[in-house]
């Protein structure tokens, strides 16, 4: 790729981002739940906008929207970029939307600058990633990779009692004349996304190059002791599950610090019963969320967590029930792709950081069917899923620049792994 | 006192206990909130029953009910026994009611056996002790000692928006023609009560002789850190208030164990915000309830708790707010009285245990105006404030025996301190 100034691509990206932010249920922030009116308007907007740009535009049966720039090698597997259009409730304007806006701007700029690619280039706006309306995530990308099957849509019910099938049909999708979402013609996937963490900002890097999306184990632990009067029960006669949970949480933190990056362990939810100031709790229920980029380490740490719970509860005469209700494997990004992105970033004078993603992304689904990569841009204070989510124009443009160069290598130079 | 078999007093006690249990709002257990219909029926029942027994019966303006056996020394300060008639929601049949039933049986038996005492003997059914309807406790005994003033009744509002004044008037009290509750003519107070703890049962004692009712400090601690994504925030970049609270709770338990009996420290209520499995909490609020029978020790431990919170939060970069919202002083029982009760118990072949009361009782109000004492009987599994509350007939009768002998010494032998 020439060193043509890619900053001329930036205005379109900012424009699409600003427009997408306008499609939202009541604030604060942006709320664009799957198959809602606002969601449908956003996808319609993207289709109109990409049609105007001259892309071949289509949608599939679950509501994923694609824009395509045909390649010289007609019908060859495509190089795909993009992200998801849905948001959490009262989320920010960058999560998901940035990857779509950057992708549209990248394709437009590449085509205007270099003409048609060799490989087809596609941009996707996945219908759903957040799991904010129905109790599942990655409905968009999971239907593309085959992780989900359209036939299960009637089984998923939202908080208002509406099934995913009903919602999909009401939004204008799920029709037999619409293309099935499954794709087997994708050569590579590259996703730009905000970091949603503090690492890049704190360590002063311009972009993050993702080596793997972490796997996750989420435990629910219930410790049962003996509810008793806080005044009349001597310390030595207690079986206090709150004290037991405190010991576990404190030791868990030490174990995670000792394990070192990228291992994280979090107790985000904890509830005492009866939760009354003058009663020693009878039980406590809490979650332990553990993440790491390598299966073996994650698995060993999960085992250590179970042992810790057993050891503490046995010593304290507490009854422990531990259940594992999330157990996802780490999703590695492709070394050739992230190697290229690191090289590209450095060559552009940016300071890249090879890092794992502690949050889930569509790329973890796509990596099951094609070489995949992600570029992160810094999030101010690491805040995401909040109206306070913010990434500076400079940060967004740095990511765009890396994305453009990566897509150029893949689609124009066919430097595919 | 002769060694006459006081067991002949037991049937009346069991009878009154059984009758009192029938006055209750819907179960499970007994619910008899201050100034409720059930509460009024219970007090009416006691007045009828005591009238039948030949006691002089009266009530005061706040609804305390008295039965009196006049003494030979007419008008001399009275020896008072009794407890409270109100209950928590879904409480047991013994808490409060036992002290009333035992007192009635004691007065009846003493009068039948020995005729009129020298000092007047009185039994009281205090209107309120639990604080279950209005946000205060000891309304009955506190009006007797002057800790409360009737004029504040309009200011206290229950969960249904009804003021204590309205409720009192609706129940038939609060009238100007009714006697003011304040008493200055009480020579001594003796209260029989269930232990509401596990100590007597676990250590195999028949009765507990209370040396002091513990003082209490209750703190509310709020730790504020930084809510962040559980996946994208490295362990070293966290300010996690849940981990901070865990460290405090774990250290608090160690400190309390080191301090030794009767010090107890309890975290009974703890709440994370936002309390979501995949979010590092932004804040945690919890209570610390500390009790001890000696003011100096309680005070020193309270200071140590404050230092612990400050040290942990400062080291972890958390913001800590600590407020002390309960701060009651220990209430000593009278050494001459509890010494006598210990001697009486041992002489009867019972195994007494000198102990502090970790729960509050009417006796802590009364001890501000006269020498006071309490006798405890074992609670099965230490359970109280529950339909499962239970003390065996044998236990109740052991306590009755000690109560009768104590009242005999005070009212018939005038062995007053």
pLDDT tens for A169-219 read 999 999 999 999 999 999 999 999 999 999 999 999 999 999 999 999 999
Size of interface A-B (CB pairs under 8 A): 209
What residue numbers bound the domain in which B324 lies? 215-328
Residue finishing a domain among B306, B328, B350? B328
Lookup result for tokens 């002057």:
B146
- Give the pair of three-digit tokens for residue B266: 């309890």
Q: Give residues 356 to 375 of B whose Cβ lies within 8 Å of A.
A: 357-360
Q: Give residues 50 to 109 of A whose Cβ lies within 8 Å of B.
A: none
Domain assignment of residue B417, yes or no:
no
Are both B273 and B292 inside the same structural domain?
Answer: yes
Domain assignment of residue A84, yes or no:
yes
For A126-160, the pLDDT digits (tens) are 999 998 899 889 999 999 999 999 999 999 999 89
Residue B398 marked in a binding site: no
Distance CA A337, CA A202 (A): 25
Distances (CA, A) of A71 to A125, A298, A417, B189, B337: 20, 42, 18, 98, 100
For A244-269, the pLDDT digits (tens) are 999 999 999 999 999 999 999 999 99
Which positions ≥6 away from B254 have C-beta within 8 Å? none
Which H or E element spans position B284?
A: strand B283-292
Which positions ≥6 away from B260 have C-beta within 8 Å? none
Distance CA A164, CA A148 (A): 13
User: Measured between CB atoms, does B242 come within 8 Å of chain A?
Assistant: yes
Distance CA B384, CA B395 (A): 15
- CATH classification of the domain holding B206: 3.40.630.10
Rg from Cα positions in chain B:
24
- CATH classification of the domain holding A290: 3.30.70.360
A202 CA: distance to closest CA in chain B (Å): 9
For A286-324, the pLDDT digits (tens) are 999 999 999 999 999 999 999 999 999 999 999 999 999
Check residue B135 and give its pLDDT. Answer: 85
Check residue A27 and give its pLDDT. Answer: 83
Number of domains composing chain B: 2
User: Measured between CB atoms, does A287 come within 8 Å of chain B?
Assistant: yes
Are both A27 and A140 inside the same structural domain?
Answer: yes
Residue B315 marked in a binding site: no
Distance CA A200, CA A218 (A): 26
Check residue A120 and give its pLDDT. Answer: 97
Residue finishing a domain among A328, A350, A384? A328
Interface test with B, best of A205, A221, A235 (most B CBs within 10 A): A235
Check residue B63 and give its pLDDT. Answer: 98
What is the pLDDT tens value at each position of chain B, 417 positions in all? 655 577 899 999 999 999 999 999 988 999 999 999 999 999 999 999 999 999 999 999 999 999 999 999 988 999 999 999 999 989 999 999 999 999 999 999 999 999 999 999 999 999 999 988 998 899 999 999 999 999 999 999 998 999 999 999 999 999 999 999 999 999 999 999 999 999 999 999 999 999 999 999 999 999 999 998 999 999 999 999 999 999 999 999 999 999 999 999 999 999 999 998 888 999 999 999 999 999 999 999 999 999 999 999 999 999 999 999 889 999 999 999 999 999 999 999 999 999 999 999 999 999 999 999 999 999 999 999 889 999 999 999 999 999 999 999 999 999 999
Domain assignment of residue B31, yes or no:
yes
Are both B161 and B55 inside the same structural domain?
Answer: yes
Per CB-CB distance under 8 Å, the chain B contacts of A323 are none
- What value does the mean pLDDT take over residues A317-346? 96
Are both A238 and A381 inside the same structural domain?
Answer: no
Q: State yes or no: pLDDT of A404 exceeds 90.
A: yes
**Closest to B367 measured CA to CA, from B335, B331, B341, B398:** B331
Are both A190 and A335 inside the same structural domain?
Answer: yes
Q: Strand (E) positions, B87-234?
A: 121-126, 186-194, 207-213, 215-224, 228-229
User: For residue A75, what pLDDT band results from cuts at 50, 70 and 90?
Assistant: confident
User: Measured between CB atoms, does A349 come within 8 Å of chain B?
Assistant: no
Domain assignment of residue B1, yes or no:
no
Say if the Cβ atoms of B268 and A275 lie within 8 Å.
yes
Q: State yes or no: pLDDT of A54 exceeds 60.
A: yes
Are both A175 and A40 inside the same structural domain?
Answer: yes
Check residue A4 and give its pLDDT. Answer: 59
Say if the Cβ atoms of A268 and B249 lie within 8 Å.
no
Say if the Cβ atoms of B278 and A265 lie within 8 Å.
no
Say if the Cβ atoms of B249 and A243 lie within 8 Å.
yes
Higher pLDDT, residue A160 or A5: A160
User: Measured between CB atoms, does B197 come within 8 Å of chain A?
Assistant: yes
Distance CA B188, CA A36 (A): 74
**In chain A, which residue's Cα lies nearest the Cα of B379?**
A232
Check residue B356 and give its pLDDT. Answer: 96
Are both B42 and B133 inside the same structural domain?
Answer: yes
Say if the Cβ atoms of A266 and B280 lie within 8 Å.
yes
Four-CA torsion B63, B64, B66, B71, nearest 10 degrees = -130
Backbone angles phi, psi at B78, to 5 degrees: -90, 155
Per CB-CB distance under 8 Å, the chain B contacts of A287 are 277
Which H or E element spans position B292?
A: strand B283-292
Distance CA A347, CA A333 (A): 21
Check residue A6 and give its pLDDT. Answer: 77
Say if the Cβ atoms of A231 and B382 lie within 8 Å.
no
Mean pLDDT, rounded, of chain A:
96
Q: State yes or no: pLDDT of A2 exceeds 70.
A: no
Are both A121 and A253 inside the same structural domain?
Answer: no
Say if the Cβ atoms of B269 and A256 lie within 8 Å.
no
Are both B336 and B383 inside the same structural domain?
Answer: yes
B404 CA: distance to closest CA in chain A (Å): 25
**In chain B, which residue's Cα lies nearest the Cα of A248?**
B246
Q: State yes or no: pLDDT of A94 exceeds 60.
A: yes
Query: HEC string of chain A?
Result: CCCCCHHHHHHHHHHHHHHHHCCCCCCCCECCCCCCHHHHHHHHHHHHHHHHCCCEEEEECCCCEEEEECCCCCCCCEEEEEEECCCCCCECCCCCHHHHHHHHHHHHHHHHHHCCCCCCEEEEEECCCCCCCCCCCCHHHHHHHCCCCHHHHHHCECCCCCEHHHHHHHCCCCCCCCECCCCCCEEEEEEEEECCCCHHHHHCCCEEEEEEECEEEEEEEEEECCCEECCCCCHHHCCCHHHHHHHHHHHHHHHHHHHCCCCEEECCCEEEECCCCCEECCEEEEEEEEEECCHHHHHHHHHHHHHHHHHHHHHCCCEEEEEEEEEECCEECCHHHHHHHHHHHHHCCCCEEEEEECCCCHHHHHCCCCCEEEEEECCHHHCCCCCCCCCCHHHHHHHHHHHHHHHHHHHHCCCCC
User: Measured between CB atoms, does B21 come within 8 Å of chain A?
Assistant: no
User: Measured between CB atoms, does A308 come within 8 Å of chain B?
Assistant: no
Q: State yes or no: pLDDT of A1 exceeds 80.
A: no
Domain assignment of residue A133, yes or no:
yes
Distance CA A19, CA A268 (A): 34
Residue finishing a domain among B275, B296, B328? B328
User: Measured between CB atoms, does A245 come within 8 Å of chain B?
Assistant: yes
User: Measured between CB atoms, does B258 come within 8 Å of chain A?
Assistant: no
Domain assignment of residue B389, yes or no:
yes
Distances (CA, A) of A331 to A41, A359, B133: 32, 11, 57
Check residue A84 and give its pLDDT. Answer: 98
Q: State yes or no: pLDDT of A74 exceeds 90.
A: no
A233 CA: distance to closest CA in chain B (Å): 6
A144 CA: distance to closest CA in chain B (Å): 25
Say if the Cβ atoms of B268 and A256 lie within 8 Å.
no
User: Measured between CB atoms, does B230 come within 8 Å of chain A?
Assistant: yes
Per CB-CB distance under 8 Å, the chain B contacts of A285 are none
Strand pairing of A78-84 and A186-194?
A: parallel
Are both B41 and B158 inside the same structural domain?
Answer: yes
Say if the Cβ atoms of A272 and B268 lie within 8 Å.
yes
Say if the Cβ atoms of B382 and A202 lie within 8 Å.
no
Are both B184 and B224 inside the same structural domain?
Answer: no
Interface test with B, best of A278, A328, A364 (most B CBs within 10 A): A278
Are both B110 and B221 inside the same structural domain?
Answer: no
């Amino acid at each position: 790729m020439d060193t043509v100034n890619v900053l001329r691509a930036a205005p379109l990206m900012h424009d699409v981002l600003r427009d997408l932010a306008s499609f939202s249920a009541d604030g604060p922030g942006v709320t664009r739940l799957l198959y809602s009116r606002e969601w449908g308007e956003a996808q319609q907007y993207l289709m109109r906008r990409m049609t105007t740009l001259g892309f071949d535009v289509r949608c599939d049966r679950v509501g994923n929207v694609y824009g395509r720039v045909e390649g010289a090698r007609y019908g060859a597997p495509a190089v795909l970029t993009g992200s998801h259009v849905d948001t959490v409730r009262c989320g920010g304007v960058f999560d998901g939307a940035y990857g779509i806006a950057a992708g549209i701007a990248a394709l437009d700029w590449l085509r205007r600058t270099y003409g048609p690619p060799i490989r087809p280039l596609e941009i996707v706006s996945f219908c759903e990633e957040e799991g904010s309306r129905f109790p599942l995530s990655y409905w968009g990308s999971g239907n593309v990779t085959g992780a989900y099957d359209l036939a299960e849509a009637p089984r998923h019910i939202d908080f208002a009692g509406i099934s995913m099938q009903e919602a999909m049909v009401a939004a204008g999708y799920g029709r037999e004349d619409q293309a099935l979402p499954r794709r087997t013609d994708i050569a590579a996937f590259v996703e730009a996304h905000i970091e949603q963490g503090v690492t890049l900002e704190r360590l002063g890097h311009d972009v993050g190059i993702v080596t793997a999306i972490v796997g996750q184990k989420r435990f629910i632990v219930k410790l049962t002791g003996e509810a008793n009067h806080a005044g009349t029960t001597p310390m030595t006669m207690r079986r206090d599950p709150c004290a037991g949970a405190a010991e576990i949480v404190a030791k868990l933190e030490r174990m995670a610090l000792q394990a070192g990056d990228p291992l994280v362990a979090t107790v985000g939810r904890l509830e005492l019963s009866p939760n009354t100031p003058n009663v020693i709790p009878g039980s406590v229920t809490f979650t332990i969320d553990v993440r790491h980029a390598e299966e073996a380490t994650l698995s060993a740490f999960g085992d250590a967590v179970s042992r810790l719970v057993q050891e503490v509860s046995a010593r304290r005469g507490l009854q422990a029930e531990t259940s594992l209700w999330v157990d996802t494997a780490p999703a590695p990004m492709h070394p050739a792709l992230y190697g290229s992105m690191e090289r590209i970033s450095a060559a552009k004078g940016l300071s890249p950081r090879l890092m794992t993603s502690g949050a889930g992304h569509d790329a973890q689904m796509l990596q099951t069917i094609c070489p995949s990569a992600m570029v992160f841009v810094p999030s101010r204070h690491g805040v995401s899923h909040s109206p306070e989510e913010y990434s500076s124009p400079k940060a967004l443009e740095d990511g765009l620049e890396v994305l453009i160069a990566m897509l150029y290598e893949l689609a124009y130079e066919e430097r595919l792994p």
